[in-house]
C-alpha cells in the first residue's frame, strides 16, 4: 500500500507531482477539491491518464495477491480503487467556487473581484472542463 501511495502521490517523482497542479479547484455546494492537469499538451495528458490507469491496475493486482488481505486471503479487504472513482469532470465554470479557489491558489484570504477574475480567466484559457478520455 505504501508503494501504491508513493507511486501515485507521495514520492517526489510521483504521478501527481509530474502531471497535476498542486493548487486545487474548489467546487460549489460540495466544497470538494479537484486537482487539474498542469499546462501540458493533449498528448502528454493522454499519456498521463494511460500511465495512471496502468499504475492502478498493476497495484490493485499486487494488493489482490496478498496472502492474508488479498482476494483469496484469510481476511480479504475490499479494494475500491478504480480510475473511474478518482477522475472528475468539471462541467463548467459555474460549478466552481471561485472565491475559495482563489484563496487556495493565491493565499489571499479576502480576494478582490479583480483577483478572483484573474484566477477565473487563467483557468478559462486552460479549458479545465474539457473532457479527456
User: Could you tell me if 129 and 91 are in contact, meaning their C-beta atoms sit under 8 angstroms apart?
Assistant: yes
Separation CA 27–CA 98 (nearest Å): 8
C-alpha cell belonging to residue 103 = 484563496
User: Can you give the pLDDT at residue 84?
Assistant: 85
pLDDT range class, residue 69, cuts 50, 70, 90 = confident
Q: Give the start-to-end residue ranges of the domains of the chain.
A: 2-126
C-alpha cell belonging to residue 17 = 507531482
The distance from CA 81 to its chain's CA centroid, rounded to whole angstroms, is 13
pLDDT range class, residue 81, cuts 50, 70, 90 = confident
C-alpha cell belonging to residue 101 = 479557489
φ, ψ for residue 24, nearest 5 deg: -75, 165
CA distances from 115 to 36, 77, 80, 90 (A): 20, 47, 39, 21
- State pLDDT tens for residues 13-23: 999 999 999 99
For residue 6, pLDDT beyond 80: yes
Please identify which residue in the block is written with the cell numbers 509530474.
Answer: 18
User: Can you give the pLDDT at residue 97?
Assistant: 94
Query: Which pTM does this prediction carry?
Result: 0.78
For residue 132, pLDDT beyond 50: no
- State pLDDT tens for residues 26-41: 999 877 899 989 988 8
For residue 122, pLDDT beyond 90: no
Rounded percentage of the chain residues whose pLDDT exceeds 90? 44
Summary mean pLDDT of the chain: 86
User: Can you give the pLDDT at residue 55?
Assistant: 93
Question: What mean pLDDT comes out for the span 96-112?
Answer: 96
Amino acid at each position: 500500500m505504501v508503494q501504491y501511495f508513493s507511486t501515485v502521490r507521495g514520492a517526489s517523482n510521483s504521478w501527481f507531482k509530474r502531471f497535476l497542479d498542486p493548487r486545487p479547484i474548489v467546487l460549489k455546494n460540495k466544497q470538494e477539491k479537484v486537482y487539474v492537469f498542469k499546462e501540458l499538451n493533449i498528448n502528454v495528458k493522454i499519456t498521463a491518464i494511460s500511465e495512471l490507469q496502468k499504475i492502478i491496475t498493476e497495484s490493485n493486482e499486487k494488493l489482490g495477491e496478498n496472502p492474508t488481505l488479498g482476494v483469496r486471503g484469510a481476511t480479504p479487504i475490499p479494494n475500491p480503487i478504480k480510475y473511474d472513482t478518482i477522475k472528475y469532470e468539471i462541467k463548467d465554470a459555474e460549478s466552481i467556487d471561485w472565491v475559495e479557489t482563489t484563496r487556495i491558489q493565491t493565499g489571499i484570504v479576502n480576494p478582490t473581484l479583480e483577483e478572483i477574475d484573474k484566477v477565473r480567466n487563467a483557468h478559462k484559457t486552460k479549458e479545465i472542463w474539457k473532457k479527456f478520455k
